[in-house]
């Protein structure tokens, strides 16, 4: 069974640019959630995708957007990058159709905005 | 989802049991208690979850009090590789996980 994978591992962008991060969910999981983790803090929920639609969103501006594809993989897009967007971005997949809906995390993408 | 409270840090001697407490006094009847850990710069790792009964798996045991207002994660024989931040989360259904500040466990040789 393949776990959650994310790409790329590391990324350096300049303020104002746009970035796309990718996530492949674990086999059998149909829900993907994205989290942002700033240095020294716990992960913060960005949004969740289920059946290719956004299904819940945290306190993040609209320049954070996402997609989920029919194979349940997902993308996180961030426009107009700001220095504070520098963080570890985590993707988690879970089976939404059966409790207790435990989420399994990927290794993360480290984004640095300069 | 109920707020959880954990001590900011704990130490444990290698080979001894690590007991990590969590308070969730406002937990509702349908909220599960989940434990995750995060080793430096890696993604959080799912450890265990429970609703009412005590649970055990290959990684740890979870003891939930009868009134469900608190729980304890037990690592029976801590190793240096168990040094991590441990998060206790109370959650309903398939909602997002709310990570607080967690407990930083340091296993000492």
Confidence at residue B97, expressed as pLDDT on a 0 to 100 scale: 86
Q: Collapsing DSSP states into helix, strand and coil, what is residue A91?
A: strand
Sequence-ordered list of residues with C-beta below 8 angstroms from that of A71, at least 6 positions apart, any chain: none
With beta carbons less than 8 A apart as the criterion, state whether B70 and B5 touch: no
Contact yes or no for B42 and A31 at CB 8 A: no
- Over residues A92-112, the pLDDT tens digits come to 998 877 766 789 999 999 999
* Low-confidence spans in chain A with pLDDT less than 70: 1-2, 99-100
Strand order in the sheet with B61-64: B18-23, B70-75, B61-64, B55-56
Contact B99 A99 (CB under 8 A): no
Nearest CA in chain B to A46: B96
What pLDDT, on the 0 to 100 scale, is given for residue B8? 96
- Say whether residue B9 is in contact with chain A using an 8 A CB cutoff: no
Q: Which of B64, B59, B28, B29 is nearest to B46 (CA)?
A: B59
Question: DSSP 3-state assignment of A83?
Answer: helix
Q: Token pair of B58, please?
A: 């290959």
Which residue has better confidence, B1 or A74? A74
Each residue of B29-82: pLDDT tens digit? 888 999 999 998 899 999 999 999 899 999 999 999 999 999 999 999 999 999
Residue B88 pairs in a beta bridge with B35
Closest Cβ opposite residue B32 in set A100, A105, A108:
A100
pLDDT at B2: 77
Q: Give residue A1's pLDDT.
A: 57
**Residues A74-110, buried b or exposed e (16+ Cβ, 10 A)?**
bbbebeebeeebbbbbbbbbbbbeeeebbbbbbbbbb
Residues with Cβ within 8 Å of B82's Cβ and at least 6 positions away in sequence, in order, are B12, B18, B37, B75, B105, B107
Q: What is the mean pLDDT of residues B15-22?
A: 97
**Residue whose entry in the numeric block shows the structure tokens 């304890």:** B72
What is the nearest CA distance from A102 to chain B, expressed in angstroms? 8
Structure tokens that stand for A45 in this block: 């929920």
Cβ–Cβ gap A94/B94 under 8 Å = yes
Token representation of residue B3: 């707020």
Instruction: Look at residue B85 and tell me whether its pLDDT is greater than 60.
Output: yes
What integer pLDDT is reported at residue A95 of this predicted model? 82
pLDDT value at residue B13: 97
Burial of B59 (0-12, 13-18, 19+ CB in 10 A): middle
Task: Establish if B53 touches chain A: CB-CB under 8 angstroms.
Answer: no
pLDDT above 90 covers a percentage of chain B that reads: 75
């Amino acid at each position: 069974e393949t776990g959650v994978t994310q790409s790329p591992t590391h990324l350096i962008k300049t303020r104002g640019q746009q970035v796309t991060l990718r996530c492949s969910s674990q086999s059998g999981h149909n829900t993907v959630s994205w989290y942002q983790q700033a240095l020294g803090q716990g992960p913060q929920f960005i949004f969740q995708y289920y059946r290719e639609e956004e299904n819940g969103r945290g306190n993040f501006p609209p320049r954070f957007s996402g997609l989920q594809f029919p194979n349940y993989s997902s993308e996180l897009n961030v426009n107009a990058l700001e220095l504070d967007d520098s963080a570890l971005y985590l993707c988690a997949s879970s089976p939404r159709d059966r409790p207790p809906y435990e989420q399994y995390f990927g290794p993360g993408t480290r984004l640095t905005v300069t | 989802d109920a707020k959880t409270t954990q001590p900011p840090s704990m130490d444990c001697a290698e080979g001894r049991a690590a007991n990590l407490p969590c308070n969730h006094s406002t937990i509702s009847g349908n909220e599960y208690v989940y434990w995750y850990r995060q080793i430096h710069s890696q993604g959080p790792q799912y450890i265990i979850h429970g609703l009412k009964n005590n649970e055990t798996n290959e990684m740890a045991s979870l003891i939930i009090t009868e009134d469900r207002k608190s729980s304890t994660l037990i690592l029976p024989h801590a190793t240096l590789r168990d040094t991590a931040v441990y998060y206790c989360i109370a959650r309903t259904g398939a909602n997002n996980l709310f990570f607080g500040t967690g407990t930083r466990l340091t296993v000492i040789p």
